Homo-oligomer: A and B are copies of this chain.
Amino acid sequence: MSDQNTELRKAGLKVTLPRVKILEILQDPNHQHISAEDVYKILLELGEDIGLATVYRVLNQFDDAGILTRHHFEGGKSVFELTGNSHHDHLVCLKCGKVIEFEDEIIEAKQLEIADKNGIKLTHHSLYLYGECTDTEQCQKNADAH
């Protein structure tokens, strides 16, 4: 059952409670772009007895296995996101923390071209756009909800 198990097996990882729980959290649409600390907090709320160290270890394993992607948004801490099928970049509101995903082939193409022109074989990139919601009311609501 459950694709979590198969996903974990595919990555060569044993199916353990911490890993399944963490995977569940990441799959929750409300918890995309989440930090290690926040994963830990949610586990505590769920009453799961899982240590912070384990959270870090599991997230690293998932990262190695390509199950998720690590982002370095501004603010110091790493943020994780399940690796879907599609590549995309991020647009972040610095006031309410909202994260919007986007894709743009023109930018992607330009990047490759630039790297090529400079004698670099591009392996990956990070593109974050930072700003503030123009809809300030909605933004405020989001901010209040943390």
Contact = CB atoms under 8 A, between A and B. Distances in A.
Interface of A: 72, 74, 91, 93-94, 100, 102, 104, 106-107, 110-111, 114-115, 118-135
A130 B119 contact: no
Given A122-B131, A126-B126, 6 more contacts: A72-B72, A91-B115, A106-B110, A120-B129, A120-B132, A123-B132
Contacts of A104: 110, 114
Contacts of A114: 91, 102, 104, 129
A115 B129 contact: yes
B131 A115 contact: yes
Given A100-B118, A106-B106, A118-B102, A127 B130 contact: no
